[in-house]
Amino acid sequence: MTNQDYQITESELQEFRKRGYNDDLLPKPLSKRMMGKLNYFTLWMGSVHNIPNYTAVGGFLFLGLSPINIMLALVLSALTVALFMTFNGRAGSKYGIPFAMHLRSTYGDLGAKLPGFLRGCVAAIAWFGLQNYTGSLALLILIGKIWPGFLTLGGGTTILGISVPGLIAFTLFWAVNMLIGLGGGKILNKFTAILSPLIYIVFGGMAIWAIRVAGGIGPILSYNVAGAAHNISPIFVYFMIMNSVLAVWAAPGASVSDFTQNAKSTKDQTIGQTASLLVGYGIFAFSSVAILIGGSIHYGIQEWNILNIVDRWENSFAIIVAMLVFLLTTVSTNATGNIIPAAYQLCALFPKKIDYKKGVLLASIISFLIMPWKLMENSASIFIFLNTIGAVLGPVAGTMIAHYYFVEKQTIDLDLLYMDQSKDNSHNRYKGLDKSAYVATIVALVICLSGHFIPAFKVISDISWLAGFASAFCLYLLLRKFLKK
């Protein structure tokens, strides 16, 4: 078979339906794929400018690199993410299959359940909750500017570790995100198309403000961060930044087929995603460093929480606009990277009981019950969280890419993949559990997490996604070669 996108026939779809597969799991015919280059260009634009990303950049500034090197490291990281997203998305754009079926082609129908659960339930739902909480902090400031008395509701009373105003803001923002998730891809496409121009205007304006109040770009680029580490190799710091950025994209990157299955062509998703990430991160790299350092210079303190900088502004209208855009970008990130993949994965795990909308509702409820505000109780929590997500999903991504390109040779047999459960499938390569994939994934996961228990291996945990991806990729191909012999 050539590398041209596969055109599935209506008779094939009908046959797969008869075998018990619901429409959320079926391949998308080319005639029904609506996302072109522009759709993919706008898809990730809003996702870059979210509050956890700005928090992470504040941490990067303490790693000892100069501001210009932080910007360069972010752009190089974006290129790496673009390569990962487009290459891992080719199975989806070629065959129109969602992540759940892409995962099955790698691990087998039984084997796909654990990595699918880790990505679609553990990582996605945890991220969904965390993004909801960070977004609710912006909403809390926004409501406080409009209605100052709101911040004193409850008189300091806390419920499960969060204040009454905080809980109200979280619940409101959580509900909005859930509703966007229920709307699915069609609502999201319209949402991101409106959001992208606002990002250019607002964050561009914030960067201009920061440069002006800092006295020009020179003071920002020459700024020395007090307390920054200078005992880490600059090259290794680059890898740490790259690893953190990849960890941010570990979940949507692993399940990117959920989005590329809607691509009009593989070329469209490749060009669109690459341009989106490079342009988006180019703007983000400059604006994040400029705003954080410019604000710190202007206010005479080292302030690495962008919400606190915006909250110090004297212009209430500017605060409201900035906070609204932060809220919108967080909603965009949450929908594309978390709630939509979580819903699809729940569909795959329980195809007879859960459809897409039920998956959204279930994932949303769980994300509330885990009390995500506990993940942000101290400044190091976000980095621990990112490294853990990287350790869990880096091995899955490495195994998936190794399998699709070097074992399947970019060819998936859809008739075998959508197996007839009423027949003997014992000789079907997609049946059961792929032992090589499982061993490679688990060993790589143990390697990545070893630094949390063995101090000498901490360097591995600091680059958990990269270490997990590389080790799983190599181990899987070695095991396949060994078992073949």
- Which residues 6+ apart lie within 8 Å of 289 measured at CB? 57, 61, 67, 70, 71, 220
pLDDT band at 185 (very low <50, low <70, confident <90, very high): low
| pTM score of the predicted model | 0.85
- Name the average pLDDT for the chain: 87
The CATH architecture of the domain made up of 31-378 is Orthogonal Bundle (1.10)
Q: In whole angstroms, how far apart are CA 2 and each of 5, 38, 100, 412?
A: 8, 26, 23, 11
Does 324 or 211 have the greater pLDDT score?
A: 211
Q: Residue 122 above 70 pLDDT?
A: yes
Residue 396 host element (H or E): helix 381-402
- pLDDT tens, residue by residue, 99-117: 889 999 999 999 988 888 8
- pLDDT tens, residue by residue, 30-83: 989 999 998 898 888 767 887 888 888 988 888 888 999 999 999 999 999 999
Least reliable range by pLDDT among 229-238, 461-470, 473-482 = 229-238
- The residues facing 162 across adjacent strands are 159
d(CA 439, CA 234): 34
Q: Which of 442, 443, 428, 437 minimizes the C-alpha distance to 480? A: 437
Residue 127: both structure tokens together:
């991220």
The one-letter amino acid at 196: S
d(CA 109, CA 19): 14
Q: Kindly list the domain boundaries of the chain, sorted by start residue.
A: 31-378
What pLDDT does 1 receive?
A: 42
The one-letter amino acid at 141: I
What pLDDT does 414 receive?
A: 94
Coil, helix or strand at residue 35 = strand
Question: Do 142 and 327 touch, CB atoms closer than 8 A?
Answer: yes
- pLDDT tens, residue by residue, 354-364: 888 888 899 99
| For range 226-245, the mean pLDDT | 87
